[in-house]
Amino acid sequence: MSTTLTPQTPAAARPGDRTPARTGGRRDPNRPHPALWLFPVPALLLYVTFFVVPTVQGVVYAVTDWDGFSPTAAFVGADNFTNIATNDSLFRNALFNNLKFMLVVVVVQTVFSLALAVFLTKNSKSSVALRSIFFFPTILSSVSVAFVWKFVYDPNFGLVNSVLGALGLDRFQGAFLGNDSQAIYWVALTQVWFHVGQMMIIYVAGLQAIPAELYESAQTDGATRWQQFRHVTLPMVAPATAVVMAYTTVQSFKAFDLILGLGGNPPKGSLDILSTRIYSGFANSDFGYAAAESLVFMALIATITWLQRRAVKASSPDA
């Protein structure tokens, strides 16, 4: 008996089969084009040029006595850092002023911005209008804000003393910025006015992301408005609080132009903060020592921000 062999046709490809397609030596269309790797290059060049290189140079200058002009500089090792830690009373004064300034700004601005956000969470016309009004100072320049508030604090014809005099509260009139024991706190209040609207927007976004079901469940359980705020609102806005506190801390240490605008250049000792102290070092051609102060300054900001994040994380519901 003879058997006839018939050519077998390949079965139709099933959806689950993974048969590699023949590309004829061409590039796999599912792989990204190599040219896409060129897109980050401009940003990377800017980052290296304006951050990495200056940072490395700052570390190198911090262990020298370079004056900013001489072609050479003597290596002094850790002498600059030792002097900062033990002998520099001006740096310690600026540090204490900065910590007081930061404490007032972080506490008052965080609390006030959260309070504003709670009252202006709804997207009604009045709430949106008030948000715009509170946010408006943020778009102004620091120098403009400083000159406006310098007029407000003026002891002779300033707005504060004028209003207090009109209300018959002459005993509360004062020099404000001229009072060495209070000057840094008045500048801190100016900083709060300057940026509270910006932090309010962050809190508004965080509050609007809270599910309404959580409040409905709390109301069903008989929770009061304060209990809802304490046990629902505060834990749920913990990520926003972390952002606000970290950003506010950095702002507090970078209030250079606001201090110079209100306190003059150079500012008096009661208004001297770390950024103005470092600026004075560079202005006096003490580049090596100022670079060492800058590294201490950067490490201090990083440490405080890290501690804040740990504290906020510990209080969050997912901790």
Averaged pLDDT score across all residues of the chain: 85
- Cα→Cα distances 130→136, 138, 170, Å: 10, 14, 32
Domains in the chain with CATH codes: 54-315 (1.10.3720.10)
pLDDT value of position 225: 87
pLDDT for 192: 94
Per-residue pLDDT tens over the stretch 79-127:
999 999 999 899 999 999 999 999 999 999 999 999 999 999 888 889 8
Query: What is the pLDDT averaged over residues 244-257?
Result: 88
Neighbours of 220 (CB within 10 A): 8
3-state SS, 237-289, equals CHHHHHHHHHHHHHHHHCCHHHHHHHHCCCCCHHHCCHHHHHHHHHHCCCHHH
Average pLDDT, stretch 61-83?
89
First to last CA, the chain: 82
Handedness of CA 267, 268, 271, 272 (dihedral sign): positive
Please give the pLDDT value at position 16. 52
Task: Outline where the chain has alpha helix (H).
Answer: 41-47, 53-62, 79-86, 89-119, 125-135, 142-153, 159-166, 183-208, 212-220, 225-228, 234-236, 238-253, 256-263, 274-283, 287-315
Output the pLDDT for position 101: 94
- Mean pLDDT to the nearest integer, 178-202: 91
Q: Which residue has the higher pLDDT, 193 or 12?
A: 193
Give the tens place of pLDDT for each residue, 177-189.
888 888 999 999 9
Q: How confident is the model at residue 316 (pLDDT cuts 50, 70, 90)?
A: low
Distance in angstroms (rounded) separating the CA atoms of residues 317 and 93: 39
Has residue 11 got a pLDDT over 90?
A: no
For residue 29, is the peptide bond before it cis, meaning its omega torsion is within 30 degrees of 0?
Answer: no
Q: Given this model, what pLDDT does residue 53 score?
A: 93
Packing angle of the helix pair 256-263, 183-208 (nearest 10 deg): 140
pLDDT at position 10 over 60: no
> Would you state the structure tokens that stand for residue 172, as one six-digit string?
């509360």
118 to each of 52, 205, 207, 220, how far by Cα in Å?
Answer: 41, 11, 8, 21
217 three-state secondary structure:
helix
Instruction: Determine the Cα–Cα distance for residues 141 and 204; give it in Å rounded to an integer.
Output: 24
Is the pTM above the cut of 0.85?
no
Q: What is the pLDDT of residue 315?
A: 61
- Report which of residues 309 and 131 the model is more confident about: 131
Both tokens of 12, joined, read 């139709």
Residue 1 pLDDT greater than 60, yes or no: no
Does residue 253 carry a pLDDT above 70? yes
